[in-house]
Amino acid sequence: MKVSIAIAAAVASLPALVSAQVAAWGQCFPIADRRVLSDPKSTAGPPSADCSGVTKFKHFGVNQAGAEFGGGTVPGQLGTHYTWPKTTSIDYFLGIGMNTFRIPFLMERMVPPAQGLAGTMDAAYLAGLKEIATYITGKGGYAVIDPHNYGRYNGGIITDTAAFGTWCKNIAGEFKYDPNIVFDTNNEYHDMDQTLVFELNQACIDGIRAAGATSQLILVEGNSWTGAWSWVSSGNAPSMVELQDPNDNIAYEMHQYLDGDGSGTSETCVSSTIGEERLAAATDWLKQNGKKGFIGEIGAGSNDACITAVHGALCHMQQAGGVWIGALWWAAGPWWGTYFQSIEPPDGPSISRILPEALMPFI
């Protein structure tokens, strides 16, 4: 769960001030100029706790935010209200051994509200998504196609499951021949009827497979911001366990932040052990039900307690016998500026310590 903060940003290369805001509950940011990539360096060593007996992640990497920014302005203008990830950023993370990149985008930009969910996709916006996705997969990486809409479209909760299934079928049809594409049904459903969340996920699974995208992994997300720490207590566990995929290739995407309210808005973590503690119940559920899990967003501050907590969370996941197949940091992206969780190279705040101490040991 991410909470909105509106900050106007000055852009040196543009003649005027622009504002960019993440859709629904995203963060805002100053736009930053990125020039030279550098290797991650740290003045301190990694956490001392040993992490042995692990199953390495199949998918490990970062979110690449930007195309979902400026959600208050639809369709918005490329370069003013939203942007696409930089290929230099993708190359940087591929170069250090990461392989998976989640690409958030807005459904309303992909299919204009005047047409409705089942309408024709906007050619230019679709081309932007395909360009960055195929760049990633062309280099052997995995691109997660993430409609970053919180279970909403055009300002309201999505209730038409048939239209949503068609939307998923249409977007999947554009990527059905690329085995390195991963489909995310929707970002962080919240404050919705639990049965509806289940039905939307099932409709999307069915739509993706009906499009002919039969080999790709599908990530399903739960209600209550798809939080790992609340997966069992929120009601996601008994509902979502019944999802069916004819190709038996889905994973349960959960998100986990380590600050007090789990929103990812504070640099202070609850404790140095909070990462493992917040994942424990979800891990047990995955094991008991023979399911696969995927942390689609994890984030924390660049301080000793948080670094130890993130390291502990990832160690816990890799020691869970393979039930967790992936994890992604929130977030890279060219417009974050000094946002404390930015891992955009060369100098995002999470580059200097989080990357080498908390993330790289698990590549």
Residue 11 lies in a domain: no
pLDDT of residue 129: 98
Instruction: Indicate the burial class of 101 (C-beta count within 10 angstroms; 0-12, 13-18, 19 or more).
Output: buried
Give me the pLDDT at residue 49, please. 64
Is 158 a domain residue? yes
Of 188, 253, 276, 357, which one is the catalytic site residue? Answer: 188
Write the CA distances from 359 to 13, 175, 179, 203, 355, integer angstroms.
Answer: 33, 29, 26, 34, 5
What's the length of the chain?
363
What CATH number corresponds to the domain at position 240? Answer: 3.20.20.80
- Note whether residue 12 is domain-resident: no
Average pLDDT of the segment spanning 319-344: 98
The answer, yes or no, to whether residue 137 has pLDDT greater than 50, is: yes
Write the CA distances from 163 to 117, 144, 158, 202, integer angstroms: 6, 22, 9, 13
Name the active-site residue from 276, 297, 344, 357: 297
Q: Tell me, yes or no, whether 327 lies in a domain.
A: yes
State the residue for tokens 């052990």.
273
Q: What is the pLDDT of residue 50?
A: 80
Condensed to tens digits (0 to 9), the pLDDT of residues 82-114 reads 999 999 999 999 999 999 999 999 999 999 999
Confidence band, pLDDT 50/70/90 cuts, at residue 282:
very high
The residue range of the domain holding 79 is 61-266+276-295+323-334
Name the DSSP class of 183: E
Q: Look at residue 9 in the predicted model and tell me its pLDDT.
A: 34
Domain assignment present for 353: no
Whether the per-residue pLDDT at 6 is higher than 90: the answer is no
Give the chain's domain count: 1
Task: Please report whether residue 186 resides in a domain.
Answer: yes
Residue 266 has pLDDT above 50, yes or no: yes
Is 344 a catalytic site residue?
no
Please indicate, yes or no, if residue 126 is contained in any of the structural domains. yes
Q: Is residue 356 one of the residues assigned to a domain?
A: no
Q: Does the structure show a pLDDT above 90 at 257?
A: yes
| pTM (two decimals) | 0.90
242 is catalytic: no
216 phi and psi, to 5 degrees? -80, 150
CB atoms within 10 A of CB 117: 20
pLDDT of 165 strictly over 50: yes
* Confidence at residue 47, expressed as pLDDT on a 0 to 100 scale: 67
Q: Which residue has the higher pLDDT, 46 or 114?
A: 114
How far is 91 from 62, CA to CA, in rounded Å? 12
Q: What does the pLDDT look like over 47-87, one tens digit per residue?
A: 656 899 999 999 999 999 999 999 999 999 999 999 999 99
